[in-house]
Amino acid sequence: MELTGSHLFAAPQAVVWRVLTDPETLRRSLPGCQKFDPQPDGSYAVTLTIGIAAIKGTYTGTVQQLDEQPPDSYTLKVAAKGGVGFVDGQGFFTLTPGGSDGQQTQVHYTGTAQVGGKIAGVGQRLLKAGAEMIAGQFFKSLDKELVAQELINQEGARAE
């Protein structure tokens, strides 16, 4: 399965990079994420509960950010399995400044995923639609994180 898409954030590129690479923010933003713990090798141990169509399952595995080129791009590698199947995938994320004042950032992603087990039985179209829905929820949650962090920064600046 191939996935592509983009999302426009109302924040400068350096801020979006920080949010996209912060483990605690990712733990809060990934739909169904129960665990997102840093490992000694630089990867993250993850536990996610995700449902696509009528099949819902808990997956455990690893997520790793590779080939980081701050604040422009990185590769994300995912490997997880659970009672209803497995997911192995890799995605490439690029960040580019947007808007005339550089206060926006466009994030583009492309990737591939292999899915097996019961989850693969729901069909390619449903899997892709489910993956796109999860990506949309993730980016919407990151938008909220950026707003919250901006408010915290503004409060901190006022207190000084």
pLDDT value at residue 6? 96
Nearest CA to 72 among 23, 106, 44?
A: 106
pLDDT value at residue 139? 93
Q: What is the total count of domains within the chain? A: 1
Mean pLDDT score across all residues of the chain: 89
List, in sequence order, the alpha helices (H) in 34-102.
none
pLDDT value at residue 86? 93
Residue at 63: amino acid letter: V
List, in sequence order, the alpha helices (H) in the chain.
13-20, 23-29, 124-159
Q: pLDDT grade, residue 155 (50/70/90)? A: low
Residues contacting residue 21 through CB under 8 Å, at least 6 positions apart: 65, 68, 70, 74
Structure confidence by residue, pLDDT tens digits, 108-150: 999 998 989 888 887 778 888 888 888 999 999 999 999 887 7
User: What's the CATH number where 20 sits?
Assistant: 3.30.530.20
pLDDT value at residue 14? 92
pLDDT value at residue 151? 62
